[in-house]
Amino acid sequence: MLIIMKKILSSILLLSPALVMAQEVRSPDGRLKVNLELNGGKPGYSVAYNNKTMLESSPLGLETNIGSFAEGLIPVKEEVNRIDETYVLSHAKASRVHYVANELVRTYTNNEGDTLQIIFRVADNDISQAYRINSARRTHCTINRELTGFDFPSHATTFITPQAPWGEGWMRTKPSYEEEYTRDEPVGTPSKYGIGYTFPALFHLGDDGWILLSETGVSSLYAGTKLSEGAKDGLYTVAFPEKEENHGVGDATVTARLPLLTSWKTITVGETLKPIVETTSAYDVVRPLYEPSQVYKPGRSTWSWVVWQDNSINYDDQLKFIDLSAALNFEYVLIDSWWDRNIGRERMAELVRYARSKQVDLILWYNSNGSWNDAPQTPQDRMNTAPARHREMSWLKAVGVKGIKVDFFGGDKQVTMKLYEDILTDANAYGLSVNFHGATLPRGWERMYPNHITSEAALVSENLIFNQYWTDREAYSATILPFTRNAVCGMDFGPLFFNKRLSKDQKGGTIRKTTDAFQLATMVIYQSAIQHAGITPNNLNEQPDHVLDFVKTVPTVWDETRFIDGYPGDYFVVARRYGNKWYIAGSNAGEQPKKLTLSLPWLTGQELAVIYDKEDRTAGFKTATVDKKGRLAVEMQALGGIVAANSLTPALSNGEGER
């Protein structure tokens, strides 16, 4: 992975401990400002954007087994750095990122003489904050509590999702980041379960703008954190995992060798939603932890289980889905749970060979196992210990499987983060990509672990099959998740359903309410390096050529992403570029048609191929020209969508452009 870095040290200042300290660090464009404070030995900070208060005075600090780093702090020095770095991402919404930020590192000692550094990096719309602890008298440290807080103005509203307690849900498989988001709920409203909220978390500050909070840089050396319950005045603080998570195995604290660098908390700030959708904050402050053993190929995958369910995990049905992938120029087929019982290893090797003859690769499902859930699906006991992993991965490599999907994890403790890291690291040694389900938010993992291809960590498309309530809200999800969960990292939603009823025979099952053009749009709206599509073999004979040609060519990773328009829960429009080709996609969660005039100045004068909602809710095709003012008029039906690309043919040929 190419990394070009340049750090310029601009100043080092020694400070008198007697001073009442307040230090400001601004973004390179000067609009975003962090004020770091020390009041009576207690650290804190505030955030302003264009001279508007975005976060009021908020606490900082840590409580540890070697003493408090939240009070009695004595300032030692400050260091201000200019960060200027260009890096490449292979599996994300942007392929090349130029990260420029100003960094403030303030060093303190506590009452025991140990050292705390508070680090802020401030880019034009992104703040990254972390701590570094060191000690001359200790070699290890346990962090019992983070005091980092985010004090929002009391008028702010939330788009946040509650943390679920361990043991809830089917077969005790929660927490798994699969809860509903609030919608413009006042700050301080109690959460569903009373134990806080997961990252990422979106806050609306009215006319002043938006803030997206998240976390990145979590490896085996830290735990995944969350937000506490909110106070009525708008204060949320960082909280460690619940002690019951992972079925009680492992501590709900963090222990590591000194010096200890915490995870980074990220704060994306904007007057509009554009910086929220386009942020790369999850990747900007992390580094690859190992080199990829090979090139991990993104792409599209069929997936029989999501519509045809458990009974489809058999040899004959998988042949049908391999043929479907080949017909659609898809790169993969995902074979889900029970394959070891229903197909067996010898016949699986035959399926791999057949798939390769069709230029298709296979991905296989695994239960994460351990004591943290009662999920019965097999294969079990293959991923939770090192000897078992190596035996299984050696077999996977030998037969030619290219990736694994590992499901049903137990929470966010440090011990669980180590399991994620161990699976990723071992899989890389065997040339396997990894997709996590029933899992935590991946915190910078596309850059840290180059074979991490995608993760679920959201209320995704399998729920469309399980309950009509979720099917009715499918379009709503496509206007919430792009501003929240999918804004910070890849998300394996599993888009693209054409069946009118979501079952194999289409005589039973939930009833799809969205349009066909909406379904195409989700392939662009949702970003995941591998898209596991809900398309089924019968759709080949049911959809027109312009629909199937789009499906055959749409990319899954992008060189550039631009937010066009939208509001969480109402509608969403995004533009993404792969090579020289732009794709524009929109969704409408409303019960009425929505007419929009899109601003696309970089496409002025270009003719676009447009797939749109016809009155019968099927997908029509036309061409339209972006006018001289860079505008394009579009209309989406209720629960509908639209896709467009700068290609002049109905086939949308050469969909991947030149990259």
HSE-up of residue 30 (Cα within 13 Å, Cβ side) = 0
650 has a pLDDT exceeding 90: no
- Whole-number percent of the chain with pLDDT over 90: 94
- Give the model's pLDDT for residue 647: 72
1 or 467: which leads in pLDDT: 467
Which overall architecture, per CATH, does domain 458-496+506-530+555-659 show?
Answer: Alpha-Beta Barrel (3.20)
Q: Give the pLDDT band (50/70/90) at residue 61.
A: very high
654 has a pLDDT exceeding 50: no
- Give the model's pLDDT for residue 659: 52
- Give the model's pLDDT for residue 452: 98
**DSSP codes joined into one string, 17-79:** TTS-EEEEEE-TTS-EEEEEEEETTEEEEEEEETTEEEEEEEE--EEETTEESSSS-EEEEEE
Non-local (6+) Cβ contacts of 327 within 8 A are 540
Summarize pLDDT for 282-317 with one digit per residue, the tens.
999 999 999 999 999 999 999 999 999 999 999 999
Mapping DSSP to helix (H, G, I), strand (E, B) and coil, where does residue 393 land?
A: helix
177 has a pLDDT exceeding 50: yes
pLDDT, mean of residues 374-401: 97
18 has a pLDDT exceeding 80: no
Residue whose C-alpha is closest to residue 636's, from 603, 589, 599: 589
Which overall architecture, per CATH, does domain 3-284 show?
Answer: Distorted Sandwich (2.70)
Instruction: Please give the helix or strand (H or E) that residue 576 lies within, else none.
Output: strand 571-578
Instruction: Return the DSSP state at 448.
Output: H
26 has a pLDDT exceeding 80: yes
Distance CA 165, CA 642 (A): 38
- Give the model's pLDDT for residue 13: 37
Distance CA 590, CA 641 (A): 11
Summarize pLDDT for 417-458 with one digit per residue, the tens.
999 999 999 999 999 999 999 999 999 999 999 999 999 999
The phi, psi pair for 590, rounded to 5°, reads -80, 160
Given this chain, do its domains 3-284 and 458-496+506-530+555-659 carry the same CATH topology?
A: no
- Give the model's pLDDT for residue 600: 98
pLDDT, mean of residues 607-632: 97
> So where are the chain's domains?
3-284, 458-496+506-530+555-659
Matching residue, tokens 């508070």: 118
Q: Which two tokens stand for residue 279?
A: 């942020």
Summarize pLDDT for 235-285 with one digit per residue, the tens.
999 999 999 999 999 999 999 999 999 999 999 999 999 999 999 999 999
**149 backbone φψ class: left, alpha, beta (φ>0; ψ -120 to 50):** beta
- Give the model's pLDDT for residue 648: 52
Non-local (6+) Cβ contacts of 417 within 8 A are 218, 219, 220, 222, 223, 224, 440
